[in-house]
Amino acid sequence: MGVTLNGIGQGYITDRVVELLRAGGVEHALVDVGKTRAIGGIPQAAVVGWTGGSRAPGTIAERIPLVGRAIATAGGYGTLFDAAGRFSHIFEPWSGHTSWRWLSVSVESGTATESNALSNAFALMPEEATAGVVRSLGLTAHFVRPDGARVVQKA
């Protein structure tokens, strides 16, 4: 048995670090405590922002510029409970079984806490159920299907 901060703890801690840095006068930084949040952009004229990523097992599926935004990814490949990779930490509460609906889900939003919580929730939801949430909260969500195909939803 083990306890991790994978629920929304990593996003929450990331946001608290951002608050401390901002209070200390930091205007440009990329904070990554398991979930990623940018303060401003890269302070060089040639580059727009920091880069986060939509992830898939062993790779970055897409590079995403972050300027004053956060990104978090949920994927069952991150914590496996058996050598064959059949059981992960993402469970369907209605069945008690591992969910493989999506290979990974990455959510961009204004805070790492929100990105973290929603990427976990979206990992269990069908595409049509996430679209309304994405629109209403002004998010961008990146989904990787089990076959590797990608879907992007934008507000």
Q: Across 12-26, 60-74, 97-111, which has the greatest mean pLDDT? A: 12-26
Helices 127-137 and 112-122: angle between axes, nearest 10 degrees: 160
Q: Tell me the whole-structure pTM to 2 decimals.
A: 0.86
List pLDDT tens digits, range 72-100. 988 877 777 888 878 777 878 888 887 78
CA dist list (Å): 56 to 1, 37, 44, 78: 26, 19, 30, 9
What the chain holds in terms of domains, given with CATH numbers, is 9-154 (3.10.520.10)
List pLDDT tens digits, range 117-136. 999 999 999 999 999 999 99
Residue whose C-alpha is closest to residue 37's, from 45, 25, 49, 46: 49
Distance CA 115, CA 10 (A): 10
